[in-house]
């Protein structure tokens, strides 16, 4: 019988994290947007100021999936929260409860850290994921539209800051 274990990623896991990110981007039809490298992942996940944390799910000895998350803050709750950036289970391992186990583990981390909520986004077309999340009791946040500044637009806005960087 196969066993599932969830572990916090370590720096030596960067190659498998990178492979999973590329697979996830392919699944979401966004492979053309990936500019990450192993070196940048190593620095941003395990360097002096880690920007996010990673959980890895192992099915027996094979890495089957990951969850990438980071802290956020709610002024309305006056509590921290967690934002789930990526939840991915390899196609060969779907349907075995791995995604559920990763979310359960992450919910436990959120509760242990005194978080008021765990939130994430999902692509509108990803019906299997939407159905999965709604079965958990998660609800879409209606009335909100996600915005993003990146690349040139981000640099242009930053260049207009008269006070410089904090």
Q: How confident is the model at residue 164 (pLDDT cuts 50, 70, 90)?
A: low
Residue 77 is assigned to a structural domain of this protein: yes
- How many Å apart are CA 25 and CA 150, to the nearest integer? 18
- Domain membership of residue 20 (yes or no) is yes
* Residue numbers of the domain that contains 38: 4-159
Average pLDDT, the chain: 94
CATH number at residue 63: 3.40.630.30
Tell whether the model's pLDDT for residue 26 goes beyond 80. Answer: yes
Whether the per-residue pLDDT at 166 is higher than 70: the answer is: no
**Residue-level pLDDT at 92:** 96
pLDDT value for 6: 98
Relative to beta strand 117-120, strand 79-89 is: parallel
DSSP structure string for 60-119: TTEEEEEEEEEEEEETTTTEEEEEEEEEEE-GGGTTSSHHHHHHHHHHHHHHHTT-SEEE
Average pLDDT over residues 104-126: 96
Q: Considering 27, 73, 88, 133, which one is annotated as catalytic?
A: 133
Active site residue 133: yes
Condensed to tens digits (0 to 9), the pLDDT of residues 80-89 reads 999 999 999 9
Model confidence pLDDT, tens digit, residues 81-112: 999 999 999 999 999 999 999 999 999 999 99
Q: Assess if residue 164 is contained within a domain.
A: no
Instruction: Please count the structural domains in the chain.
Output: 1
Q: What is the pTM of this model?
A: 0.92
Q: Is 24 inside any structural domain?
A: yes
Q: Which of 23, 24, 1, 20 is nearest to 9 (CA)?
A: 20
For residues 84 and 53, give the distance between their C-alpha atoms in angstroms, rounded to a whole number: 10
165 is a domain residue: no
Looking at residue 102, its pLDDT comes to: 97
Asked if the model's pLDDT at residue 148 lies above 90, the reply is no
pLDDT for the residue numbered 165: 61
Question: Cα–Cα distances in Å, from 93 out to 2, 56, 98, 127, 153?
Answer: 11, 13, 8, 18, 39
pLDDT at res. 134:
93
């Amino acid at each position: 019988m196969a066993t599932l274990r969830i572990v916090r990623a370590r720096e030596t896991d960067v190659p498998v994290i990178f492979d999973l990110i590329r697979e996830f981007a392919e699944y979401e039809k966004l492979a053309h947007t990936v500019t990450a490298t192993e070196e940048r992942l190593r620095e941003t996940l395990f360097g002096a100021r880690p920007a996010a944390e990673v959980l890895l799910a192992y099915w027996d000895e094979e890495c089957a999936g990951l969850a990438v998350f980071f802290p956020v803050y709610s002024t309305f709750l006056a509590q921290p929260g967690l934002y789930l950036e990526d939840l991915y289970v390899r196609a060969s391992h779907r349907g075995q409860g791995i995604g559920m186990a990763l979310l359960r583990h992450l919910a436990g981390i959120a509760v242990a850290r005194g978080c008021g909520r765990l939130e994430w986004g999902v692509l509108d077309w990803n019906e299997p994921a939407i159905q999965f999340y709604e079965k958990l009791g998660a609800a879409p946040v209606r009335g909100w539209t996600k915005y993003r500044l990146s690349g040139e637009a981000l640099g242009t806005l930053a260049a207009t800051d008269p006070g410089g960087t904090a």
